[in-house]
Structures are given as C-alpha cells and as structure tokens.
Amino acid sequence: MSGFPTLQPAFTLQVTIDAPLGVGSASRKNNLQVVPMTGGSVKSAPGFSPALDAEFVGVGNDYIHADADGKHLRLDAHGVIKPKDSEDLIYLNYTGVGTLLPEVQAVFAGTAPDGSTPFNSVFTHITFETGSERYKDLESRVFVAQGRFNVEKGKPTVVEYRVSQVVQG
C-alpha cells in the first residue's frame, strides 16, 4: 500500500550483557534492574551506507522496568561504539518493549538452555549521536530493531538485534 514506510536492513547489533543488578524502586510498583552491557559490536548490512564495523567501548547499561502485570519489560539502553578504522565515537540509545515469554524469563533467571530465542519478543527504536562528520547522517534517520538472546553455557549472554532503517515506501 502506498504511503506506508518500509524497512531497509541496516545493522546487526550484538551486545554482551552481564547479570542484572536488581536496584529496586521505593517509589514505583515496578522495580528497576540495571543490566551491564560489557561489550559487543555493530556491523552494517551489505550495501548499507555509511558502512560501519564498530565495537562497544567502556561499559554501557540497559535500564529495565518490568510492567506490574509481569508480561512486558521496558528497555532504555545506553552505550558508546568505536569504528575499527577510526577514532570516532558514536553514542547509541535504544528504547523498546520486550515480551516476557517463557524463553526470555529463562534467560533472565539463568536457566535458559544453549541456543537462541526467536526474534519475536524484543522490539526497539535506536538513535545515534556523534561528533563525526562521517557518521553524522545516522543522527537524522529512524531505526527500528527486533532482538533475541543468544545463550551459550560458560559464556556471557549476547543480545542480538537486527536493525533496519525506516525509509519511504
């Protein structure tokens, strides 16, 4: 149908996470959990411009509140990435909603079997900010993603997002 936007594959974003820190909340019904983002990468899809092959630097965090009914999570993640071929730094922020399906609950409980959850439970909106002329166009675009969890015993959990740019339909 005309007039509706379409999606152009843009990036694969992989974020290595550590165990959640249960901060709690004295004033809300839904407790805050802070999930440390300890590493990861962003790699452009073939043909996407500006091409990006970057690694997370420093430590970011994903601030998560579960809905009172226990069915959804509200995400607000912050991190910094650095392209492998330059000294540029790019801040990224993604906000979104995750459905607490049994396989996602098992990931957070540390009881998930090895493997990947389906791309059916986490959806986000991603924004970028940078002082780099090379990557400044990322600041003016709209990106959405769907995510899944990759679990391998003895290794940190990786959240994988397939990111698309919203473009004119």
- For the chain, which residues make up each domain, given as ranges? 6-167
Sequence-distant (≥ 6) Cβ neighbours of residue 79 within 8 angstroms: 15, 37, 40, 56, 58, 60, 91, 92
Using the predicted structure, report yes or no on whether residue 28 has a pLDDT greater than 90.
Answer: no
Q: What is the pTM of this model?
A: 0.92
Segment (H or E) for 24: strand 21-24
Using the predicted structure, report yes or no on whether residue 126 has a pLDDT greater than 70.
Answer: yes
CATH numeric code, 6-167: 2.40.160.20
Reported as a pLDDT band with limits 50, 70 and 90, residue 30 is confident
Quote the DSSP letter at residue 97. E
Distance (Å, whole) CA 73 – CA 67: 6
Distance (Å, whole) CA 27 – CA 146: 31
Please provide residue 125's backbone torsions phi and psi, each rounded to the nearest 5 degrees.
-120, 130
Q: Are 146 and 119 in contact (CB under 8 A)?
A: yes
The reported pLDDT for the residue numbered 1 is 63
